[in-house]
Amino acid sequence: MRYENVRTTVPILAMLVALLGGCGRSAPTRFYVLTSSLGSEQKASAQASAEQLAIRIGPVEFPKYLDRPQMVSATSGNRLKVAEFDRWAEPLEESFTRVLTENLSNLLSTERIVLFPWKGGGPVDFWITVKVLRFDGTSRGEVLLIARWTILGPDENELTPPRRSRISVSTRGTGYEGVAVAMSEALGQLSREIVTEISAHR
């Protein structure tokens, strides 16, 4: 009888070990970045000037709730969802600043862009500050970017009153990859708004 019990117990133990091993495996983590939604044709079509504009960007401020590697989306007015296995490959604030710089460089045909914090450097034509109030996905299948921004002149005087942009972009398909694409497009729209204001003061 004891031998029969051993024969029955061994397969059961093996099955339990396999199940426990499977439970210990976590889902694979996916990483995303923001990208410029403005192709090279935008830069080619931009009006070239004899001397490139000198642009200063920063500081760019972000809300604390976005200071995390996980992607965040709003499920209701006061509730947020943090995606544990869908993460930014770099801090979102850095990704935002990097793509904003690339977009402005393309649209204004200039490589003379310096970022905050800067050390020394010569005079600039325009100084752009940005405060992001919201930048996330929503339960309605869209991305919402709300930001306040200001453009200063060479003497650090405000060329325009502080602006407030509210940009909504629908996500395509499902999943967080579509959210990242829509966020990139929203940042592209904000970049165009800033460039329109700069062009009015050139």
What is the per-residue pLDDT across 26-75, written as a single tens digit (0 to 9) for each? 779 999 999 997 765 445 444 445 479 999 999 999 999 999 999 999 98
- Single out the residue of 112, 111, 107 nearest to residue 40, CA to CA: 107
What is the per-residue pLDDT across 145-158, written as a single tens digit (0 to 9) for each? 999 999 999 988 99
- Single out the residue of 147, 47, 36, 52 nearest to residue 101, CA to CA: 36
pLDDT confidence of residue 12: 55
Residue 3 CA neighbour count, 13 Å, CB half = 0
- Single out the residue of 105, 92, 79, 85 nearest to residue 180, CA to CA: 92
Residue range 97-119: average pLDDT?
94
Stated pTM of the model: 0.82
Domains of the chain as residue ranges with CATH: 29-199 (3.40.50.10610)
Q: Kindly state the helix (H) or strand (E) to which residue 152 belongs, with its residue range.
A: strand 142-152
Residues 6+ apart with CB under 8 A from 193: 163, 165
What is the per-residue pLDDT across 170-185, written as a single tens digit (0 to 9) for each? 998 778 999 999 999 9
What is the per-residue pLDDT across 120-150, written as a single tens digit (0 to 9) for each? 677 899 999 999 999 999 888 999 999 999 9
- Single out the residue of 57, 56, 89, 58 nearest to residue 71, CA to CA: 89
Q: How far apart are CA 20 and CA 35, in angstroms?
A: 40
CB 108 within 8 A of CB 195: yes
